[in-house]
A = this chain, B = another copy of it.
Protein backbone atom coordinates (compact mmCIF):
# COMPACT_ATOMS: atom_id res chain seq x y z
CA UNK A 1 0.00 0.00 0.00
CA UNK A 2 1.47 3.30 -1.11
CA UNK A 3 1.59 6.15 1.41
CA UNK A 4 0.51 8.94 -0.96
CA UNK A 5 0.53 11.58 1.78
CA UNK A 6 4.23 11.06 2.53
CA UNK A 7 5.07 11.25 -1.16
CA UNK A 8 3.07 14.46 -1.56
CA UNK A 9 4.76 16.01 1.46
CA UNK A 10 8.18 15.17 0.09
CA UNK A 11 7.25 16.61 -3.31
CA UNK A 12 6.00 19.78 -1.65
CA UNK A 13 9.24 20.13 0.34
CA UNK A 14 11.30 19.69 -2.81
CA UNK A 15 9.16 22.15 -4.74
CA UNK A 16 9.59 24.95 -2.22
CA UNK A 17 13.36 24.68 -2.53
CA UNK A 18 13.58 25.08 -6.30
CA UNK A 19 15.18 28.40 -7.20
CA UNK A 20 14.59 28.51 -10.96
CA UNK A 21 10.81 28.33 -11.11
CA UNK A 22 10.24 29.17 -14.79
CA UNK A 23 8.51 32.14 -16.37
CA UNK A 24 4.97 33.32 -15.71
CA UNK A 25 2.91 33.52 -18.93
CA UNK A 26 2.74 37.24 -19.53
CA UNK A 27 0.79 37.37 -22.75
CA UNK A 28 -2.41 37.31 -20.71
CA UNK A 29 -2.04 40.40 -18.47
CA UNK A 30 -4.33 39.00 -15.78
CA UNK A 31 -2.13 35.90 -15.37
CA UNK A 32 1.08 37.91 -15.21
CA UNK A 33 0.19 39.10 -11.73
CA UNK A 34 0.47 35.69 -10.01
CA UNK A 35 3.30 35.04 -7.52
CA UNK A 36 5.73 32.51 -9.01
CA UNK A 37 6.33 30.91 -5.59
CA UNK A 38 3.01 29.07 -5.39
CA UNK A 39 2.95 25.30 -5.41
CA UNK A 40 0.11 22.93 -4.68
CA UNK A 41 -0.66 19.26 -5.27
CA UNK A 42 -3.74 17.13 -4.71
CA UNK A 43 -4.38 13.44 -5.33
CA UNK A 44 -7.52 11.36 -5.21
CA UNK A 45 -7.27 7.59 -5.34
CA UNK A 46 -9.72 5.04 -6.69
CA UNK A 47 -11.34 4.73 -3.26
CA UNK A 48 -11.90 8.51 -3.30
CA UNK A 49 -9.38 9.11 -0.55
CA UNK A 50 -7.91 12.63 -0.82
CA UNK A 51 -4.30 13.70 -0.21
CA UNK A 52 -3.03 17.28 -0.29
CA UNK A 53 0.06 19.41 0.13
CA UNK A 54 0.91 23.08 -0.38
CA UNK A 55 -1.48 25.54 -2.01
CA UNK A 56 -3.80 22.78 -3.10
CA UNK A 57 -6.92 24.78 -2.29
CA UNK A 58 -5.97 28.01 -4.02
CA UNK A 59 -7.81 28.89 -7.18
CA UNK A 60 -5.98 29.40 -10.48
CA UNK A 61 -6.89 29.73 -14.13
CA UNK A 62 -7.07 26.25 -15.64
CA UNK A 63 -6.67 27.55 -19.21
CA UNK A 64 -6.01 24.74 -21.72
CA UNK A 65 -6.92 22.04 -19.22
CA UNK A 66 -10.49 23.09 -20.00
CA UNK A 67 -10.04 21.69 -23.53
CA UNK A 68 -10.40 18.15 -22.15
CA UNK A 69 -13.69 19.10 -20.52
CA UNK A 70 -15.20 20.76 -23.59
CA UNK A 71 -14.12 17.75 -25.64
CA UNK A 72 -15.87 15.49 -23.12
CA UNK A 73 -19.10 17.46 -23.35
CA UNK A 74 -18.90 17.50 -27.16
CA UNK A 75 -18.47 13.71 -27.25
CA UNK A 76 -21.32 13.39 -24.76
CA UNK A 77 -23.54 15.49 -27.07
CA UNK A 78 -22.72 14.38 -30.62
CA UNK A 79 -20.50 11.31 -30.15
CA UNK A 80 -18.08 10.26 -32.85
CA UNK A 81 -19.26 13.02 -35.21
CA UNK A 82 -16.70 15.17 -33.41
CA UNK A 83 -13.97 13.40 -35.42
CA UNK A 84 -15.36 14.64 -38.71
CA UNK A 85 -14.12 18.10 -37.82
CA UNK A 86 -10.93 17.50 -35.87
CA UNK A 87 -8.23 14.80 -36.08
CA UNK A 88 -6.55 12.88 -33.23
CA UNK A 89 -2.86 12.99 -34.16
CA UNK A 90 0.00 14.77 -32.35
CA UNK A 91 0.88 18.02 -34.06
CA UNK A 92 4.64 18.14 -33.83
CA UNK A 93 4.23 21.88 -33.46
CA UNK A 94 4.19 24.47 -30.71
CA UNK A 95 0.76 25.11 -29.21
CA UNK A 96 -0.02 28.25 -31.15
CA UNK A 97 1.13 27.37 -34.67
CA UNK A 98 -1.25 27.69 -37.59
CA UNK A 99 0.85 26.20 -40.38
CA UNK A 100 -0.35 22.63 -40.25
CA UNK A 101 -3.92 23.82 -40.15
CA UNK A 102 -3.40 25.27 -43.61
CA UNK A 103 -1.82 22.17 -45.03
CA UNK A 104 -4.64 19.87 -44.01
CA UNK A 105 -7.61 21.76 -45.35
CA UNK A 106 -8.90 23.28 -42.19
CA UNK A 107 -9.00 20.10 -40.08
CA UNK A 108 -6.97 20.75 -36.92
CA UNK A 109 -4.57 17.98 -35.93
CA UNK A 110 -6.20 17.31 -32.56
CA UNK A 111 -8.68 18.86 -30.12
CA UNK A 112 -6.00 19.95 -27.62
CA UNK A 113 -4.22 22.48 -29.83
CA UNK A 114 -5.90 25.87 -29.99
CA UNK A 115 -7.48 25.54 -33.45
CA UNK A 116 -8.87 22.13 -32.47
CA UNK A 117 -10.28 23.44 -29.21
CA UNK A 118 -11.91 26.31 -31.08
CA UNK A 119 -13.69 23.81 -33.33
CA UNK A 120 -14.90 21.98 -30.21
CA UNK A 121 -16.09 25.31 -28.78
CA UNK A 122 -18.01 25.88 -32.02
CA UNK A 123 -19.72 22.48 -31.61
CA UNK A 124 -20.81 23.39 -28.09
CA UNK A 125 -22.07 26.81 -29.16
CA UNK A 126 -24.20 25.04 -31.76
CA UNK A 127 -25.46 22.29 -29.46
CA UNK A 128 -26.14 24.14 -26.21
CA UNK A 129 -28.98 26.52 -25.53
CA UNK A 130 -26.94 28.69 -23.13
CA UNK A 131 -23.38 27.61 -23.97
CA UNK A 132 -21.46 29.32 -21.19
CA UNK A 133 -24.02 28.50 -18.49
CA UNK A 134 -24.59 24.95 -19.67
CA UNK A 135 -20.89 24.14 -19.86
CA UNK A 136 -20.35 25.54 -16.37
CA UNK A 137 -23.24 23.43 -15.09
CA UNK A 138 -21.67 20.35 -16.74
CA UNK A 139 -18.38 20.97 -14.94
CA UNK A 140 -20.06 21.72 -11.61
CA UNK A 141 -22.15 18.55 -11.82
CA UNK A 142 -19.14 16.34 -12.53
CA UNK A 143 -17.28 17.90 -9.59
CA UNK A 144 -20.39 18.08 -7.41
CA UNK A 145 -19.23 21.58 -6.58
CA UNK A 146 -21.31 24.66 -7.41
CA UNK A 147 -18.57 27.05 -6.33
CA UNK A 148 -16.64 26.54 -9.58
CA UNK A 149 -16.94 29.60 -11.79
CA UNK A 150 -15.46 31.64 -14.61
CA UNK A 151 -13.02 34.47 -13.88
CA UNK A 152 -14.51 37.27 -15.98
CA UNK A 153 -11.41 39.45 -15.66
CA UNK A 154 -9.26 36.69 -17.17
CA UNK A 155 -11.77 36.09 -19.98
CA UNK A 156 -11.79 39.80 -20.83
CA UNK A 157 -8.03 39.98 -20.61
CA UNK A 158 -7.65 37.10 -23.06
CA UNK A 159 -10.19 38.56 -25.44
CA UNK A 160 -8.22 41.79 -25.65
CA UNK A 161 -4.94 40.07 -26.46
CA UNK A 162 -6.01 36.84 -28.13
CA UNK A 163 -5.17 37.89 -31.71
CA UNK A 164 -3.69 34.53 -32.56
CA UNK A 165 -6.90 32.81 -31.54
CA UNK A 166 -8.88 35.28 -33.64
CA UNK A 167 -6.55 34.40 -36.52
CA UNK A 168 -7.13 30.67 -35.99
CA UNK A 169 -10.90 31.06 -35.76
CA UNK A 170 -11.04 33.14 -38.93
CA UNK A 171 -8.85 30.65 -40.74
CA UNK A 172 -11.18 27.82 -39.66
CA UNK A 173 -14.10 29.92 -40.88
CA UNK A 174 -12.40 30.34 -44.26
CA UNK A 175 -12.27 26.53 -44.48
CA UNK A 176 -15.94 26.20 -43.50
CA UNK A 177 -15.00 24.48 -40.26
CA UNK A 178 -16.65 27.04 -37.98
CA UNK A 179 -20.42 27.35 -38.07
CA UNK A 180 -20.99 30.20 -35.64
CA UNK A 181 -19.68 33.77 -35.55
CA UNK A 182 -16.03 34.09 -34.66
CA UNK A 183 -16.88 36.54 -31.86
CA UNK A 184 -19.43 34.21 -30.29
CA UNK A 185 -17.22 31.12 -30.45
CA UNK A 186 -14.21 32.93 -29.01
CA UNK A 187 -16.28 34.51 -26.26
CA UNK A 188 -17.16 30.97 -25.21
CA UNK A 189 -13.57 29.80 -25.69
CA UNK A 190 -12.07 32.61 -23.59
CA UNK A 191 -14.58 31.83 -20.85
CA UNK A 192 -13.84 28.10 -20.78
CA UNK A 193 -10.14 28.93 -20.44
CA UNK A 194 -10.88 31.33 -17.59
CA UNK A 195 -12.38 28.63 -15.37
CA UNK A 196 -10.94 29.00 -11.86
CA UNK A 197 -10.24 25.85 -9.89
CA UNK A 198 -7.99 24.54 -7.16
CA UNK A 199 -5.89 21.41 -7.51
CA UNK A 200 -8.45 19.60 -5.38
CA UNK A 201 -11.35 20.66 -7.60
CA UNK A 202 -9.43 19.64 -10.71
CA UNK A 203 -8.95 16.10 -9.44
CA UNK A 204 -12.63 15.94 -8.56
CA UNK A 205 -13.53 16.77 -12.15
CA UNK A 206 -10.90 14.53 -13.77
CA UNK A 207 -11.72 11.62 -11.44
CA UNK A 208 -14.07 10.33 -14.14
CA UNK A 209 -11.18 9.79 -16.60
CA UNK A 210 -9.60 7.23 -14.28
CA UNK A 211 -12.98 5.77 -13.30
CA UNK A 212 -14.40 4.57 -16.65
CA UNK A 213 -16.29 7.80 -17.30
CA UNK A 214 -18.12 7.89 -13.97
CA UNK A 215 -17.89 10.80 -11.53
CA UNK A 216 -17.41 10.47 -7.78
CA UNK A 217 -21.15 9.99 -7.33
CA UNK A 218 -20.99 7.15 -9.85
CA UNK A 219 -22.89 8.96 -12.57
CA UNK A 220 -21.58 8.16 -16.09
CA UNK A 221 -20.67 11.16 -18.27
CA UNK A 222 -18.69 9.23 -20.87
CA UNK A 223 -18.63 5.68 -22.22
CA UNK A 224 -15.59 3.53 -21.53
CA UNK A 225 -14.59 3.87 -25.18
CA UNK A 226 -14.80 7.67 -24.96
CA UNK A 227 -12.66 7.73 -21.83
CA UNK A 228 -10.06 5.56 -23.52
CA UNK A 229 -10.09 7.90 -26.50
CA UNK A 230 -9.63 10.99 -24.36
CA UNK A 231 -6.87 9.43 -22.26
CA UNK A 232 -5.05 8.43 -25.45
CA UNK A 233 -5.33 11.99 -26.78
CA UNK A 234 -4.08 13.42 -23.49
CA UNK A 235 -1.08 11.12 -23.59
CA UNK A 236 -0.13 11.85 -27.20
CA UNK A 237 -1.19 15.51 -27.43
CA UNK A 238 -1.61 16.91 -23.94
CA UNK A 239 1.68 18.74 -23.58
CA UNK A 240 2.13 20.72 -26.79
CA UNK A 241 5.61 20.19 -28.11
CA UNK A 242 6.64 18.23 -25.01
CA UNK A 243 4.18 15.32 -25.22
CA UNK A 244 6.90 12.74 -25.83
CA UNK A 245 8.99 14.03 -22.96
CA UNK A 246 6.04 13.96 -20.57
CA UNK A 247 5.03 10.47 -21.70
CA UNK A 248 8.49 9.30 -20.69
CA UNK A 249 9.24 11.43 -17.63
CA UNK A 250 5.80 10.98 -16.10
CA UNK A 251 4.17 8.22 -18.08
CA UNK A 252 0.56 9.26 -17.48
CA UNK A 253 -2.18 10.77 -19.62
CA UNK A 254 -2.53 14.40 -18.60
CA UNK A 255 -3.06 18.00 -19.62
CA UNK A 256 -1.32 21.23 -18.80
CA UNK A 257 -2.41 24.87 -18.95
CA UNK A 258 -0.45 28.13 -19.19
CA UNK A 259 -1.91 29.10 -15.82
CA UNK A 260 0.57 26.60 -14.40
CA UNK A 261 -1.82 23.74 -13.70
CA UNK A 262 -1.32 20.12 -14.71
CA UNK A 263 -3.72 17.25 -14.19
CA UNK A 264 -2.78 13.61 -14.79
CA UNK A 265 -4.20 10.20 -14.01
CA UNK A 266 -3.51 6.49 -13.89
CA UNK A 267 -6.61 4.53 -14.94
CA UNK A 268 -8.17 2.67 -11.99
CA UNK A 269 -5.54 4.03 -9.61
CA UNK A 270 -5.48 7.79 -9.04
CA UNK A 271 -5.92 11.28 -10.39
CA UNK A 272 -3.52 14.05 -9.44
CA UNK A 273 -3.30 17.82 -10.03
CA UNK A 274 -0.43 20.24 -9.47
CA UNK A 275 -0.13 24.00 -9.70
CA UNK A 276 2.96 26.15 -10.01
CA UNK A 277 2.65 29.18 -12.26
CA UNK A 278 6.22 29.32 -13.67
CA UNK A 279 6.46 27.72 -17.13
CA UNK A 280 9.33 26.00 -18.92
CA UNK A 281 10.23 27.11 -22.47
CA UNK A 282 7.70 24.65 -23.95
CA UNK A 283 4.84 26.28 -22.02
CA UNK A 284 4.29 23.65 -19.32
CA UNK A 285 4.57 24.23 -15.56
CA UNK A 286 8.23 23.69 -14.70
CA UNK A 287 7.81 22.54 -11.12
CA UNK A 288 4.60 20.69 -11.89
CA UNK A 289 6.50 18.52 -14.37
CA UNK A 290 9.19 17.78 -11.77
CA UNK A 291 6.55 17.01 -9.14
CA UNK A 292 4.74 14.49 -11.32
CA UNK A 293 8.00 12.90 -12.39
CA UNK A 294 8.88 12.42 -8.73
CA UNK A 295 5.41 11.04 -7.99
CA UNK A 296 5.62 8.30 -10.63
CA UNK A 297 9.24 7.55 -9.85
CA UNK A 298 8.64 7.21 -6.11
CA UNK A 299 5.45 5.20 -6.44
CA UNK A 300 6.56 3.26 -9.52
CA UNK A 301 3.07 3.81 -10.87
CA UNK A 302 2.87 4.61 -14.57
CA UNK A 303 1.20 3.19 -17.64
CA UNK A 304 4.51 1.91 -19.01
Contact = CB atoms under 8 A, between A and B. Distances in A.
A32 interface: no
- The winner among A91, A166, A171, A244 for most chain B CB atoms within 10 A is A244
A64 B188 CA distance: 35
Contacts of A102: 97-99
Interface residues of A, number: 48
Number of copies of this chain that the complex holds: 4
Interface in A86-120: 87-93, 97-100, 102-103, 109-110
A241 B89 contact: yes
Contacts of A242: 89
A30 interface: no
Given A100-B92, A242-B89, A228 B302 contact: yes
A252 to B, nearest CB: 10
Given A164-B174, A229-B248, A233-B244, A91 B92 contact: yes
A170 interface: yes
Interface in A156-188: 163-164, 166-171, 173-174, 182
A227 interface: yes
Contacts of A163: 170-171, 173-174, 182
Given A89-B243, A98-B171, A232-B247, 12 more contacts: A89-B90, A89-B242, A90-B236, A90-B243, A92-B92, A163-B171, A166-B173, A166-B182, A228-B251, A233-B247, A235-B236, A267-B304
28 contacts: A89-B90, A89-B245, A90-B92, A90-B243, A90-B244, A91-B92, A92-B92, A92-B93, A97-B102, A98-B98, A99-B102, A99-B103, A163-B170, A163-B173, A163-B182, A164-B170, A166-B166, A166-B170, A167-B168, A167-B171, A228-B248, A228-B251, A232-B248, A233-B247, A235-B236, A235-B247, A235-B304, A267-B303
